Amino acid sequence: MAVSEKVSPQGLAEAPGGTPTHCPYCALQCGMAVGGSPVRVTPREDVPANRGGLCQKGWTAAELLTVPDRLTTPLMRAHLGAPLEPCTWDEALDRIASEITRLQARHGRDAIGVFGGGGLTNEKAYQLGKFARIALRTSQIDYNGRFCMSSAAAALNRAFGLDRGLPGPITDLAGADAIMLAGGNVAETMPPFMRHLTEMRERGGALIVIDPRRTSTARQADLHLQPTPGTDLALANGMLHLAITEGLLDEAFIDGRTGGFEAVRIAVNGYWPDRVERITGVPVPQMREAVRLLARGRRSLILTARGAEQHARGTDTVTAFINLALALGLPGREGGGYGCLTGQGNGQGGREHGQKADQLPGYRKIDDPAARAHVAKVWGVDPEIIPGPGRSAFELLDALGADDGPKALLLFGSNPVVSAPRSGRIEERLNALDFLAVSDFVLSETARRADVVLPTAQWAEESGTLTNLEGRVLRRRRAVDPPAGVRTDLEILAGLAGRLAAPGRWSTDPAEVFEELRAASAGGPADYSGITYERIEREGGVFWPCPSEDHPGTPRPFAERFHTPDGRARFVPVEHSGAAEGVDEHYPVYLTTGRVLAHYQSGAQTRRIGPLVDASPEPFAEMHPDLAERHGVADGGMVRVTSRRGTVIVRARLVDSIRHDTVFIPFHWAEEGRANLLTNPALDPMSRMPEFKVCAVRVEPHEENGADL
């Protein structure tokens, strides 16, 4: 059955099961209807991303609305060391405003930091960036998407001149000849995505998965390449080397639509097959087979996800995969090319509208005078008052409370105590702050440390837009009223802006904020100016860029040309250098981190949902039985995993689906199972992405001596 990409207006309004909206979690943004009493979720058939499918996270999303420890009143600490106690909204907002004023008077405007999230709607992300720039006038804003999409974004901008996750509608996937997924486990992270891959395979397309673990996704692949963590770049270069020597280049495409190939040819001459085999551990015949499958019909897609991107060389790693795609002539074809699998719900839109340290709305650069002038005009301010670029996420968090760093932090939609790398260090920095305010709907591990906590509305209680992994702008619609005492982030920002006597408009109506966002993004790379709420509902979403209301949107932005000055894609030579922290005699095992199906990000939401906790109650360390035996670790026993930055104690899970030299720990949990206590914050020089995906650890059985109960 063919599924229409369009949604009839009446279908939207009268959807069975309640208000049509989208899932609160990942970037697939599965369509669901929310309604009834008690509130239930029903999957929508009319959204191409999921076509009636949902994973357990989606099915249980309604339970988020009624978690027992939902915050419904602001909380405040009277003084350092005092407990968090309920207070009024005025008390809370007055306190935040007075701390801002006090600290900025003493330390300057950059004394206040702002940290946002990739789960915020476009409207909130836009308003938060504006709040930082013209209400606080601080340069110190960044967001957790830096830990998510930034390497792919930097590589895409460098190669194609435009950072949009997928190169076409998700329905193109089923028609691909081959899809190679580097460092992604979609069967667990966005299960309904697998339906598109399954359909492709049923039509004869091949699925190739690159992952150090034989994941649920890898098990369903036609070919699984299992490299040493931290060696994806060498693998991609090696595959390009093979593409050259096997005569599989698309010379016409290289000549006609790209530039810079000769420099890449010289670079990959140094990646002959057996050298790459030695670096990666991937057998040469498998590399050759992967290249042949990709070149077989040319309508092939190379996708990267966090496994390839979350490295200190993440940008270059993604570039290596883009080089391969370009050399094979894949981009620009329907169903082919290179794409990045966006992670967070609004990971795409969240990186376009100004919560990034170096960016203004519409994906504009903050140091570009024309961009500043355009945005200042929309905001009704002098361009001079807009600050310049600030610190990137980890650097911002790392500078908190330091002499030259922010003294206060306002945090929205993020839980860095669990999700940031080397999170023990992040806790120290949060403790060094004079003031921390957190907006959240539960008391997350980070909110617990705040001086003021603001209870905010959540997904089904608010409206706005999100941009999914396709680059399709979608409507999130309010299905239920927020509990009494809760405000939306737009209301919070308006309340603070008023107290700070900020210039600009501070509407609390998402539709009005979106109108302003449209104007601010007009003419930028991520141009939303032609998108309206009505169009989104009528057309089932609109692909950006969409520069005018009569423009159809851009499902396939690279079909005709790339968005570089000369319209050609750029080859960029890149070199392998390996993990920032290699294994040695003291830390002899690689650690890689990732996700499990039942949980999302820091787990602040999913660890509160009964069925998800039942499915996945606790963190664990996955390792090969041989590795476990050598370190005296028993299946199901507690194991201590130690890096140069910390120790976690988790249950051992012995599997033969992981390399002998690697341990895997999912990062959704807090306390002593917090994987990010171990991870290495070595940063990518371009994207400032930390190296979440590989560091060196040692593994020991945890001796429970009975006394510490």
Whether 521 and 378 have beta carbons less than 8 Å apart is answered as no
Residue 94: burial class (beta carbons within 10 Å; 0-12, 13-18, 19+): middle
For other proteins, the closer of residues 267 and 639 by Cβ is 267
For other proteins, the closer of residues 196 and 674 by Cβ is 196
For other proteins, the closer of residues 216 and 532 by Cβ is 216
The 40-43 sheet, strands edge to edge:
19-22, 31-35, 40-43
For other proteins, the closer of residues 52 and 389 by Cβ is 52
For other proteins, the closer of residues 266 and 432 by Cβ is 266
How far, in Å, CA of 674 to CA of 643, rounded? 12
Residues within the interface to other proteins (CB under 8 A): 43, 52-56, 59, 186-188, 191-195, 198, 214, 216, 220, 228, 244-247, 262-263, 265-266, 269-270, 272-275, 277-278, 280-286, 597-598, 611, 614-615, 624-626, 629-630, 656-657, 660-661
- Would you state the structure tokens that stand for residue 452, as one six-digit string? 């003021």
For other proteins, the closer of residues 260 and 389 by Cβ is 260
Compute how many other C-beta atoms are within 10 angstroms of the C-beta atom of residue 618. Answer: 12
CA torsion sign, 402 to 406 to 411 to 414? negative
- Would you state the structure tokens that stand for residue 141, as one six-digit string? 């804003």
Least distance from C-beta 707 to other proteins, angstroms?
A: 34
For other proteins, the closer of residues 26 and 386 by Cβ is 26
How far, in Å, CA of 506 to CA of 116, rounded? 18
Least distance from C-beta 25 to other proteins, angstroms?
A: 13
Buried/exposed code over 457-489 (b: 16+ C-beta within 10 A; e: otherwise) = bbbbbbbbbbbbbbbbbbbbbbbbebbeebbbb
Angle (CA) 608-613-619 rounded to 5° is: 110
Least distance from C-beta 670 to other proteins, angstroms?
A: 22
How far, in Å, CA of 126 to CA of 121, rounded? 8
Compute how many other C-beta atoms are within 10 angstroms of the C-beta atom of residue 38. Answer: 8
For other proteins, the closer of residues 415 and 662 by Cβ is 662
> HEC profile for 614-667?
HHCCCCEEEECHHHHHHCCCCCCCEEEEEECCEEEEEEEEECCCECCCEEEEEC
Least distance from C-beta 194 to other proteins, angstroms?
A: 3
How far, in Å, CA of 69 to CA of 88, rounded? 18
Least distance from C-beta 384 to other proteins, angstroms?
A: 36
Least distance from C-beta 221 to other proteins, angstroms?
A: 12
Angle (CA) 30-440-603 rounded to 5° is: 55
Least distance from C-beta 247 to other proteins, angstroms?
A: 7
Least distance from C-beta 465 to other proteins, angstroms?
A: 25
For other proteins, the closer of residues 32 and 517 by Cβ is 32
Least distance from C-beta 205 to other proteins, angstroms?
A: 15
| Number of helices (H), then strands (E), in the chain | 24, 30
For other proteins, the closer of residues 138 and 606 by Cβ is 606
Helix H or strand E encompassing 374: helix 369-379
Least distance from C-beta 155 to other proteins, angstroms?
A: 20
Least distance from C-beta 626 to other proteins, angstroms?
A: 5
Least distance from C-beta 187 to other proteins, angstroms?
A: 5
Which DSSP string corresponds to 682-707?
A: EE-TTT--EETT-EEEEEEE----ST
Least distance from C-beta 54 to other proteins, angstroms?
A: 6
CA torsion sign, 32 to 26 to 233 to 667? negative
Strand partners for 697: 589
For other proteins, the closer of residues 6 and 630 by Cβ is 630
CA–CA distances in Å: residue 424 to residues 432, 559, 621, 647, 680: 13, 46, 19, 10, 11
For other proteins, the closer of residues 367 and 626 by Cβ is 626
Least distance from C-beta 458 to other proteins, angstroms?
A: 22
Which DSSP string corresponds to 76-120?
A: EESSTTPPEEE--HHHHHHHHHHHHHHHHHHH-GGGEEEEE-TTS
- Would you state the structure tokens that stand for residue 391, as one six-digit string? 């610190």
For other proteins, the closer of residues 288 and 505 by Cβ is 288
For other proteins, the closer of residues 137 and 241 by Cβ is 241
Q: Is 554 helix (H, G, I), strand (E, B) or coil?
A: coil
Give me the amino acid identity at 421: P
